[in-house]
Amino acid sequence: MSLFNPHLILHLLLLTVVTGEILRPRFYSETCPEAESIVRREMKKAMFKEARSVASVMRLQFHDCFVNGCDASVLLDDTPNMLGEKLSLSNINSLRSFEVVDYIKEALEKACPATVSCADIVIMASRDAVALTGGPDWEVKLGRKDSLTASQKDSDDIMPSPRANATFLIDLFKRFDLSVRDMVALSGSHSIGQGRCFSIMFRLYNQSGSGKPDPVIEPVYKKKLNKLCPLGGDENVTGDLDATPYVFDNQYFKDLVSGRGFLNSDQTLYTSRETREYVKRFSEDQGEFFRAFAEGMVKLGDLQSGRPGEVRSNCRVVNRRHNDVLPVS
């Protein structure tokens, strides 16, 4: 994907120039005072049922906010008139745990009907995913509306590939007004969760078209990955993104320093001079990483497109009166 894709530039301009909803902490303090506690309760239930699910929910914020702002468009199912984001290149066979958001929405609708947006659920649940696995906790700004549409093409044009290098990622994040520090810290979301063999086959067997593995992969770790992801094997098999996949900590950065990054887009943060110092710093100081990560998540949550929205009653579909709305190209 070229950095100069005209669709990408248009969407980034919309995100950085247009003013959307006015977001603020404790937005639901009067209309749904238990909203945040309900979300955390349901996230705890999800974590006890399947530990991996909370990491999957956290990923939704990145995949939602980068595509036309934080508007829950990533949650919309396809319709005859709309190809949504779930089947985009970066999401298909990858994003999961949508049912966790459904459970949270159901609980909130019982307590406060037609009040809490799905977009805000994603923001709250992502924060809780981090806090519940040992990471930082922070105050979230709320008050978003839910998108009336979604676009597979917009997601394909914007979302970075697991093959991306640090220079590309720096450029991309900068267009969202996110600094190099923000980018490296937010990459630390890979402190929890798993990735597919599909995303690393080229690293293991054909890095940069060489017919050889990525030379920076630590040898013992490479043997482990070769066993997990053999040529001709099931590329939907998953591997841990760091050595402590169920604990949010700075192990991810320690792994990068030792050449044990799972994705190319992870390991490149240490091999690149532009980002290496932040990786070293976060690997040595977990508190600094936690502070930078929380700050980055708040900034990421501020992204909006300014398009019209609603509060959906079901996070997977727009409300009935909007069913004739066609996707914006």
63 annotated active-site: yes
The b/e string for 172-201 (b: 16+ C-beta within 10 A; e otherwise) is bbebbebbbbbbbbbbbbbbbbbbbbbbbb
Residue 297 tokens, joined: 């998540």
Residue 325 Cα distances to 78, 80, 118, 265, angstroms = 13, 11, 18, 36
322 labeled binding residue: no
160 marked as part of a ligand binding site: yes
User: Is 244 annotated among the ligand-binding residues?
Assistant: yes
140 is in an annotated binding site: no
Q: Is 185:269 a contact under the CB 8 Å cutoff?
A: no
Is 69 marked within a binding site?
A: yes
Question: Which helix H or strand E contains 147, and what residues bound it?
Answer: strand 146-147
249: annotated binding-site residue?
yes
Q: Which residues contact 80 (CB under 8 A, 6 or more apart)?
A: none
- Is 242 one of the annotated binding-site residues? yes
Q: Is 73 annotated as a binding residue?
A: yes
* Candidates 7, 11, 63, 322; catalytic one: 63
The phi, psi pair for 90, rounded to 5°, reads: -85, -10
Is 216 annotated as contributing to ligand binding? no
Q: Which residues are annotated as a binding site for Ca(2+)?
A: 64, 67, 69, 71, 73, 85, 242, 244, 249
Q: List the catalytic residues.
A: 63
Q: Which residues make up each annotated binding site?
A: 64, 67, 69, 71, 73, 85, 160, 190, 242, 244, 249
Binding-site residue numbers for substrate are 160
Residues within the annotated binding site for heme b? 190
